[in-house]
Amino acid sequence: MLPIIGARDYIEQRGFFIHQCPACRTARVFSVYDTRRKLTLYFIPTVNVRSQQVMECTTCHGRWGVPDDQQRELQGALMTQEQIAERIAREKAPPIQPPRKRTFYQVLQVDQEAERDVIEAAFKRLALKYHPDRSPSPEAQAKMREILEARDILLDEVRRAAYDRSLGIVRWVEALRPEDV
């Protein structure tokens, strides 16, 4: 019988890949390691006892052994830390959105708090400028339709309130105060 002096585990990181975690049930980043257990015996050189490839979820830290028949396929999918960071940044980047349509307030060139008289005055000013009978511009008809639509929405209190809510504008109603007695 040979006495055992010691056993030691060696871990070597191989790379990263993205895969669905069996525990989290969502796509996560996994670290892949080669693990080896070596035994040192008295009078006999160190011997590899066990070698296995392990993947670890970097979120929940669950660990699973990689079957031998899947190790070659996994090696082709591994990425460096820089590559995985670049891929995650690309996936999290917001998609390029088309330019936002101007709001009715921008069309009429008035403030969101503008009162009825201000909206009517802005409409008249722009109508004189862009009316198809007065403007030679080919976009005059489309511009005039846009101005008319903006005026119709902003002068109708119910429609304006609904429009403001769609833009995320919150109007605070002044609290009623009891009359002094």
Which residue would you say has higher pLDDT here, 73 or 181? 73
Q: What pLDDT, on the 0 to 100 scale, is given for residue 125?
A: 94
Nearest to 114 by CA among 164, 79, 72: 164
Whole-angstrom distance, CA of residue 159 vs CA of residue 43:
91
Whole-angstrom distance, CA of residue 123 vs CA of residue 87:
50
Q: What pLDDT, on the 0 to 100 scale, is given for residue 174?
A: 59
Is the CB of residue 44 less than 8 Å from the CB of residue 80? no
pTM for the structure as a whole? 0.43
**Which residues have C-beta within 8 Å of that of residue 20, sequence separation ≥ 6?**
26, 27, 28
Which residue would you say has higher pLDDT here, 174 or 57? 57
Q: What pLDDT, on the 0 to 100 scale, is given for residue 173?
A: 57
CATH number of 104-167: 1.10.287.110
For the ranges 13-27, 42-56, 85-99, 165-179, the maximum mean pLDDT occurs at: 13-27
The pLDDT > 90 percentage for the chain reads: 23
DSSP annotation of 79: B
Q: Where are the domains of the chain?
A: 4-92, 104-167
For the chain, give the mean pLDDT: 79
Whether residue 100 has pLDDT greater than 70 = no
Q: What pLDDT, on the 0 to 100 scale, is given for residue 105?
A: 93
